[in-house]
Structure 1
Amino acid sequence: MRPALRVFLVGLLLLSVTLPATAQDDQSVVGNPELALFAPDNLLIPGEENVVEVYVANTGSVDRGGPASYLDRVTTARATTLELRPGRAPVTVDTGRYPAGTLPTGTHGPYRFTVIADDDAEPGRYELPVVVTYTYTHIVRYDADNPDREPRFSDWDVTRRLTLVVKVDDRPRFSVGDVESDVQVGSRGTVTVSMTNDGVQTARDTVVTVTATDPEVRFAENATRAEAFVGSWEPGETRRAEYVVDVAPDAAQREYPLRAVVDYRDVRGVDRRSRVLTLSFRPDPEQTFAIQEVNDTLRVEATGRIAGELVNTGTRSVTDAVLVVRSPPESFTALEREYPLGDLAPGDRVPFEFTVAVPNDADPGPRRFGFDVEYETSGGYDVVSDRIDISRAVGERRDVLTVEAVDSTVEIDSDNRLELLVTNVGDETLTDVRASVDPVDPLSSDAPAAFVGTLAPGESTSVAVQVTVDDDAVATTHPMTMTLTYEDERGVSRTAAPLVVGLEIVEPTTTVPVVALVAVVAVVVVGAAWWWLRR
């Protein structure tokens, strides 16, 4: 207790004992609380929120003793409040007046205060003023001979100014500067973070770890966090850390937050971790492409083409672009599935063409073809674009070969040579053309196939096959199915739709055998000679 206050209280006590009447038998207990403040962990990190835990020690002071209950009364601080103030220290106190309540003798706490040291605070020791208010009983008067008589209390309200010592740490501390990004929505790129050691000590073996908090952002191998080794980091030095980042194709174009922490070893060899730093990056719009000016020559049972122009409709140049047929219609065959496009600046147009074989059993009508673009970004990352769908109509089947019989008459009970005229009525040269017949009763064949060879558009060639007619056949017109196979100009082997040739089956022609004719002549000669001799 301060000396002036103690003298004042003693004077009041002496004055009270001179009063007449009932006060002559009173006794008194005189004392007061004695408060002191402590913060065992008083280290402040500049630029961070620091929680300072304050303890209050009440040792109490007794000037005149008495019963224990009255001693507790005069040494207890009641309705106690603590108000931590910055004073002249480079700090901000975010906690207001703290109600500590009743504080008897002993140690109380902790009472937590949030203190932010300025980013540029100089390391060292600082004294923070603490305004303490409380109420206490400084005198208890009681009648020792009459315990039933109520004691009388003299209460005082006290405001004191105490001091709390804190220390601004000299460890490394870090801040985020520029954040650069070449990432586009739907692709992979690099995010580069510039950070500065704002402390006064060197950080060693430094690793900067960033964590993605948004599900649309991932690092390499679909990870949610990535590390960059920085090494030794001097005070005031700015370093750059690079991270490979993927942004989902359906992600919005907005700021995406990342959280960073710095792990390092200080000059004492102690491993430490910085506070969490928040940064963000904004991806560029998604790289897009379009297919325009499309034309085709697709039809059933033919090998045609799809052609058009691939346009870079995005905002970035791409390198080594390749247009890929990803999903042709079922049973359609793209003879080449990739078409090199080269480097494309924004707005560039490159023509392309794919050869597509349409199967014989396909139906005419619209079909959807899916494409995508494989390319390399400016950062050297391989990316595949979203799928580009186009719809094309497949035309009706068109015959490319015709067959007709040069002489369609065949005789019953005979082997017949059937001559056929094969004509290329298409618009491309056909190779390895082969013709074969598929006879059914009463027809058969021991040599049903013939090789035609190469036919240019409009060219015809005659070939022959053997056809046998059974002896029990009847004269009629009978159909015979023809099969033609060939290879088109793109090397695709095809089988033409079956063709039917009508054959005229006739009775065999009647002729006189030579032996019978000689016999008749001999009889006539012999008869004539006999008649001549008898004359």
Structure 2
Amino acid sequence: MVYSAVLRNGEPKGNNCGSYKRSVSLKGSRNGSEGAWGILWILCAALAVFLLIAVSPVSAGEQVMAGNPELSAHIVGTNEFSPGDDLSLQAEIENTGLNEFMIVKSGIISPGDLSSTAKQLTVTLGAGDAPLVVKADPQIAGDLPASQSATEAFHITVNKYAPAGVYQLPVILNYTYLYQANQEGSETLNYQYKSVNQTILVPIHIKPQIEIAVSDVQADNLNAGIEGYVNLTVKNVGSDNGQNAVVQVRQSQDSPLVPTEGSNYIGDFPVGVVTNCSFRVTVDHDAQQKTYPLDVLVYYKNYEGDYVDSPIETVGVPVGQKVKFTMTPVDASMSPGGKTVLTYQVQNVGGTTAYNAEARISAIVPFTCNDDTSFLGTIAPGETRTASFDITADSDATVKDYGMDAEVLYRDSLDNQFTSDPLKANIQVVPPFNPVNLIGLPALIVILLAVLAAAGYGAYLRWFKPR
């Protein structure tokens, strides 16, 4: 028997064995000696046993004669994504290669590698023509034997304005495999490997959806501490024609802008359509004069008939300075036990108009308010109004400066009532009028003597002067 075995992948393999024929011709009569036949069979059996003993090894080697890696790739889980998605994509690589047949024979060396194993496998995910970015380096999967699989993760970000459609992502596989193993002598096996660069296209589907772009933001009487309007111009720049659409605004995290009327129904919202919406918003009292975020989105029925939210678009909304007042005394002094009308100048130093404003004070000891409220009317930024209060001081009031608590109540342009920050109405208690304190005692004596002298001289002229 002649034997030849070369391990090659992708090429014809075979076990070329020589043919063996045996032809026996016996001529003679049936009367031949049966003893001769017995001797012949004994000799043949002995020869067969001898040959088996001579050629049979203690252990046999084996060689796989055919097989190579057969790799495929697919996405684990869903292959549908939305514009703006930022996620981890799982790609599974499967080796379906087979070892077709094996030879076991004495005198050959068993290879350490199988030809169906993909060795040093590296997996790379490309974007192809898909509107996305792959944010991952090539992944090293190592050796992948036949009938096994490996899963690699790739971070991808889909373009926010990605057009809907089916795209092919290239999965690039680089590996080597055992192509040929030649035995040289009884103790040496020469390996020959081949490198493979294989590209497999896996499909993904980017779903249609509404994407919005806010091109204009206008604030109407939107100041800290009051309520106003936000006017938006919104365009559908996505790939889905929304139905029963409602444009909504929501508070953005800890923003001081809180919508009080945050929905605007617009109905059908096809791709490319522009709509103008107005929303009522309250601004926190502690907000500063600057721009704050506000979230905008569209709630709509999509192409599958499901009601969904569009991705959020965050816009900046300018907030003006809050309403602020100052109170300056004009005539705010009185004596113990006195009753008077105190007047103050109230000025609007804020950023918006106060409507139907009125000033109010809270009396403290030793004062009593006979009228603690003064109507001011409408005060635009920078304008001043006079506030008057009827006050009585106790007779035992200490002579010094006092400060009474005051505030201004007002309404905004939407007729919501607000109260200003606390103010101070300063008032001064002064001693009662006393001439001695005004001109001093010596001067007072001189004045009195002069008055008496004048009075005496007048009496003299009238009664004692000779006629």
**TM superposition score normalised by structure 2:** 0.68
Q: 1:272 aligns with which of 278, 298, 308?
A: 308
Q: Deviations over 1:210-249 (max 9, x none)?
A: 13322x625269xxxx852535341233342514222233
Q: Deviations over 1:163-202 (max 9, x none)?
A: 1212221232333443333422333333444433323321
Cα distance, 1:367 vs structure 2: 0.6
Which one is further off, 85-94 or 298-307? 85-94
Identity between Structure 1 and Structure 2 (%)? 22
Q: Deviations over 1:122-171 (max 9, x none)?
A: 3221222232222333345689xx9xx68654333322122121222123
**Which residue pairs with 1:374 in the alignment?**
409
**Structure 2 CA distance, aligned partners of 1:36 and 1:136?**
16
Q: What's the secondary structure of 1:256's corresponding residue?
A: strand
| TM alignment of 1:307-318, pairs within 5 A | 307-318=343-354
**RMSD of equivalent CA atoms:** 3.6
**Which residue pairs with 2:269 in the alignment?**
234
**Which residue pairs with 1:512 in the alignment?**
none
Cα distance, 1:29 vs structure 2: 4.0
Cα distance, 1:41 vs structure 2: 1.8
Cα distance, 1:114 vs structure 2: 0.6
Q: Is the 8 A contact 2:289 2:321 kept in 1?
A: yes
| TM alignment of 1:121-200, pairs within 5 A | 121-139=162-180, 153-181=191-219, 182-198=221-237, 199-200=239-240
Q: Please tell me whether residue 335 in structure 1 is matched to residue 370 in structure 2.
A: yes
Q: Please tell me whether residue 290 in structure 1 is matched to residue 332 in structure 2.
A: no
Q: 2:256 aligns with which of 214, 217, 221?
A: 217
Q: Please tell me whether residue 202 in structure 1 is matched to residue 242 in structure 2.
A: yes
Please state which structure has a larger fraction of its residues in strand. 1
Q: 2:382 aligns with which of 326, 332, 347?
A: 347
Higher relative contact order (CA 8 A, sep 6+): 2
Q: 1:88 aligns with which of 129, 143, 148?
A: 129
Paired amino acid for 1:109: T
Q: What's the secondary structure of 1:322's corresponding residue?
A: strand
**Structure 1 CA distance, aligned partners of 2:119 and 2:101?**
20
Paired amino acid for 1:90: P
- Provide structure 2 residue ranges, at least 5 long, that are not aligned to the other structure: 1-6, 15-60, 105-109, 435-467
**Structure 1 CA distance, aligned partners of 2:173 and 2:244?**
43
**Structure 2 CA distance, aligned partners of 1:122 and 1:285?**
43
Q: What's the secondary structure of 2:346's corresponding residue?
A: strand
Paired amino acid for 2:241: Q
Paired amino acid for 2:314: T
Q: Is the 8 A contact 1:368 1:392 kept in 2?
A: yes
Q: Is the 8 A contact 1:323 1:371 kept in 2?
A: yes
Cα distance, 1:366 vs structure 2: 0.9
**Structure 2 CA distance, aligned partners of 1:322 and 1:234?**
47
Pair 1:155–1:312, CA change in 2 (3 A): same
| TM alignment of 1:17-36, pairs within 5 A | 27-36=63-72
Cα distance, 1:338 vs structure 2: 2.1
**Structure 2 CA distance, aligned partners of 1:75 and 1:255?**
64
**Structure 1 CA distance, aligned partners of 2:326 and 2:430?**
25
- Provide structure 1 residue ranges, at least 5 long, that are not aligned to the other structure: 1-6, 15-24, 400-535
**Which residue pairs with 2:38 in the alignment?**
none
Cα distance, 1:355 vs structure 2: 0.9
**Structure 2 CA distance, aligned partners of 1:312 and 1:64?**
97
Q: Is the 8 A contact 2:356 2:378 kept in 1?
A: yes
Pair 1:66–1:115, CA change in 2 (3 A): farther
Cα distance, 1:72 vs structure 2: 8.1
Paired amino acid for 2:323: Q
Q: Deviations over 1:339-395 (max 9, x none)?
A: 221222222222221111223343221110222222222344322221222422112
Residues matched between the structures, number: 371
